Amino acid sequence: MYRTALDLTLDAPALTAALVDFPSVSGTEKPLADAIEEALRELPHLTVDRHGNNVVARTHLGRTERVVLAGHIDTVPIADNVPSRLDGNGILWGCGTSDMKSGVAVQLRIAATVPEPNRDLTFVFYDNEEVAAHLNGLGHVAEAHPGWLEGDFAVLLEPSDAQVEGGCQGTLRVHLRTKGERAHSARSWMGSNAIHAAGPILARLASYEPRRPVIDGLEYREGLNAVGIEGGVATNVIPDECTVVVNYRYAPDRSMAEAEAHVREVFADCGVSEIVVDDHTGGALPGLSHPAAAAFMAAVGGTAQPKFGWTDVSRFSALGVPAVNYGPGDALFAHKRDEHVAVDKITHCEERLRDWLTS
Amino acid sequence: MYRTALDLTLDAPALTAALVDFPSVSGTEKPLADAIEEALRELPHLTVDRHGNNVVARTHLGRTERVVLAGHIDTVPIADNVPSRLDGNGILWGCGTSDMKSGVAVQLRIAATVPEPNRDLTFVFYDNEEVAAHLNGLGHVAEAHPGWLEGDFAVLLEPSDAQVEGGCQGTLRVHLRTKGERAHSARSWMGSNAIHAAGPILARLASYEPRRPVIDGLEYREGLNAVGIEGGVATNVIPDECTVVVNYRYAPDRSMAEAEAHVREVFADCGVSEIVVDDHTGGALPGLSHPAAAAFMAAVGGTAQPKFGWTDVSRFSALGVPAVNYGPGDALFAHKRDEHVAVDKITHCEERLRDWLTS
């Protein structure tokens, strides 16, 4: 038996299975973080740092470029899908197979098997990605030890179906409020109906034409949608307030300030009495024109795709590190009971990254 | 001291104060029902029946007409406004002064002081009017002992500011549902937004022109209003369902079936996937053309007003008994902390009713 809890001599698919069988639902990552730290400390070419349940390992070879390979070690709650199961068609099933223990396995394999990479490497394993943003371990490391995350380029091994996904869109959530005046509904003319007043907001949303800008050759796709609506005091009262919760997903050529200004402009003449920003995280430009990114693209092949959802590449972007998503999982099956990953995708990603870092 | 808990020799304003000082919030009416029953049983010209906390007292003089005087004995919860307080301007303050212990006091005074009325009299004192309709004592009596409520005409002593209010409007509550298809809000084009789909419903409501029909000389005023709206799954999900709760208050020339058909027609082309009737109580025609009502109007004077809100006159209407509201309280101050009644209105109502029943 291997002398640490995680056996880094396993191939990447087998290591993925071992990681899935080592549960680490958000908030319970400590044992897995301990095992990862322990395994990495066995590797003489790496220095290892730890902050909470976040582990950062680095080479110090004096290369001209430094590349960050990052992944979160937590999963959503288990849904009768642990332990993992490999079927006869080369599909590995289980919680985290796709999002993103297969990516973490690839990180660990590169760490263990590429002692002299052509670029200095930083491996980041962090916790609490699947829960509220303020708990996110990558954010905590960025705040406490920004130096640990320095680099010329970052690859997040989030599920991207072994395609490069560049940048990510921003997401802004606002509350649009309309006001009215209460009255008994038997004498409705004595009041003013705030729910009726929300009609123009919904009409504007329904007719809104989202942009599809092309950035670095990638076509992004925006969206402006009501994700909630609430109004009403009692069933016999004309309501004096109604709130429409709107989510604006926007392409990374727009700054946070521009995104907010755009939303205010869209609803400028809809009778909104108040706009409150409830949540806002900016997008990240794909950064594919950076030389390190170009070399990466050439090595892994394929055509880069835009990332529509918000991901932690935005955190690297905020630190000035261009970042992409590139991992073996398939986002379509993330967070699902039937989560799975194709074993050949895991091997493919591992090989492409190794080629890039050793050629 | 008077030998029963309620002293029916007090004048109506003093009796109102005594009733206010005898709390009877909905659900706790038993002591007051006991006191009313006890006091009425002292009156030899009345027979007294009881069902739960509902008390019915009747004369049996063989008159050609029978008139029902009805009132509820419960109040909304006390709001630091008990005991009652009479100010120097002849205003009596306190919980139930307006709605409707002043009316109950007038009933009790007529019962006590008109032993030989020109019409047979039925006095109804019932519980749980201020809470859910299925608890309403008048409804319970109507179901268990419909004979107790027989009559040619009924006066409900609900607050009407000493004006006759004829009939009442119906109230229909429906849930209008729109459907969509869920998707992640970062890929909104994969779904269909049910909140956006509610836009045409709100637009229709905002542009709706309510009727103002004239019935028996009274102008009613309808209203069609959203009283609630709810939609949304999570802040990053395109919602697949939205519900608009609509309250239709309609004039009593429209039957319940006609009211439902009207609402369905109004929203016929608004993309509603489902209409569910949540609650419906019909209106009541004013019935002012009935001879007993005409005699009543002549006796009490003034001009009848339409009743916009729904009241228990509708229950009498359903039993085939034309009914009006006529009481000393002012509905505008019902259910309020500063609930009050003018003493001279109490005396006025008592005198007008006595004149009608003795002339």
Residue A151 reports pLDDT greater than 90 = yes
Q: Encode pLDDT of B296-341 as tens digits.
A: 999 898 888 888 888 899 899 888 898 899 999 998 888 888 999 9
Is A130 in the active site?
A: no
Strand-pairing partners, residue A66, are A120
Mean pLDDT of A338-342: 95
Q: Residue A334's pLDDT is what?
A: 85
- Domain boundaries along the sequence of chain A: 12-167+284-358, 170-281
Q: Residue A53's pLDDT is what?
A: 98
Cβ contact (<8 Å) for A186 and B309? yes
Catalytic residue among A37, A120, A129, A312: A129
Q: Encode pLDDT of A78-116 as tens digits.
A: 989 999 999 999 999 999 999 999 999 999 999 999 999
Q: Residue B1's pLDDT is what?
A: 43
When the pLDDT of each residue in chain A is averaged and rounded to a whole number, the result is 94
Catalytic residue among A74, A127, A158, A222: A74
Q: Encode pLDDT of A224-239 as tens digits.
A: 999 999 999 888 889 9
Query: Nearest-CA distance from A87 to chain B in Å?
Result: 29
Residue A247 host element (H or E) = strand A241-250
Check if B206 contacts A (Cβ < 8 Å): yes
Partner residue facing B238 (CB), from A188, A225, A231: A225
Residue A168 reports pLDDT greater than 70 = yes
Residue A1 reports pLDDT greater than 60 = no
Q: Residue B2's pLDDT is what?
A: 55
Check if A173 contacts B (Cβ < 8 Å): yes
Tell me the torsion sign for CA atoms A195, A191, B162, B254: negative
Q: Encode pLDDT of B116-133 as tens digits.
A: 999 999 999 999 998 888
Out of A14-23, A178-187, B50-59, least confident range: A178-187
Query: Nearest-CA distance from A84 to chain B in Å?
Result: 27
Q: Residue A326's pLDDT is what?
A: 96
Q: How far apart are the C-alpha atoms of A237 and A256, rounded to whole Å?
A: 39
Q: How far apart are the C-alpha atoms of A222 and A224, rounded to whole Å?
A: 7
Query: Nearest-CA distance from B97 to chain A in Å?
Result: 20
Q: Encode pLDDT of A40-74 as tens digits.
A: 999 999 999 999 999 999 999 999 999 999 999 99
Q: Strand A323-325 and strand A165-166: pairing?
A: antiparallel
Check if A232 contacts B (Cβ < 8 Å): yes
DSSP string, B111-145: HHH-SS-SSEEEEEEES--SS-GGG-HHHHHHHH-
Mean pLDDT of A294-303: 88
Mean pLDDT of B85-108: 97
The ipTM estimated for the assembled molecules is: 0.77
Partner residue facing B203 (CB), from A171, A203, A232: A203
Which of chain A's residues have a Cβ under 8 Å away from the Cβ of B250?
Answer: none
Cβ contact (<8 Å) for A193 and B225? yes
Tokens coding A146: 């920004």
Which of chain B's residues have a Cβ under 8 Å away from the Cβ of A244?
Answer: 195
Out of A103-112, A118-127, B62-71, B327-336, least confident range: B327-336
Are both B12-167+284-358 and B170-281 of the same fold? no
Check if A238 contacts B (Cβ < 8 Å): yes
Q: How many helices (H) and strands (E) does chain A have?
A: 9, 19
Cβ contact (<8 Å) for B185 and A249? yes
Is B344 in the active site?
A: no
Mean pLDDT of B150-160: 95
- CA–CA distance from B55 to each of A241, A343, B106, B149 (Å)? 43, 80, 16, 11
Residue A62 host element (H or E) = none
Q: Residue A293's pLDDT is what?
A: 85
When the pLDDT of each residue in chain B is averaged and rounded to a whole number, the result is 94
Check if B243 contacts A (Cβ < 8 Å): no
Q: A170-281 — its CATH code?
A: 3.30.70.360
Residue A287 reports pLDDT greater than 90 = no
Mean pLDDT of B37-48: 97
**Alpha helix locations (H) across A130-224?**
137-144, 199-207
Cβ contact (<8 Å) for A229 and B230? yes
Query: Nearest-CA distance from B237 to chain A in Å?
Result: 6
Q: Encode pLDDT of A105-114 as tens digits.
A: 999 999 999 9
pLDDT bin (cut points 50, 70, 90) of residue B3 is low
Mean pLDDT of A119-143: 94
Q: Residue B132's pLDDT is what?
A: 81
Q: Residue A2's pLDDT is what?
A: 55
Using omega within 30 degrees of 0 as the cis cutoff, is the peptide bond preceding A100 cis? Answer: yes
Check if B184 contacts A (Cβ < 8 Å): yes
CATH architecture group of domain A12-167+284-358 = 3-Layer(aba) Sandwich (3.40)
Query: Nearest-CA distance from A285 to chain B in Å?
Result: 16
Closest CA in chain B for residue A171: B186
Residue A3 reports pLDDT greater than 80 = no
Report yes or no: A72 and A144 within 8 Å, Cβ to Cβ.
no
Mean pLDDT of B79-90: 95
Number of Cβ within 10 Å of residue A322's Cβ equals 24
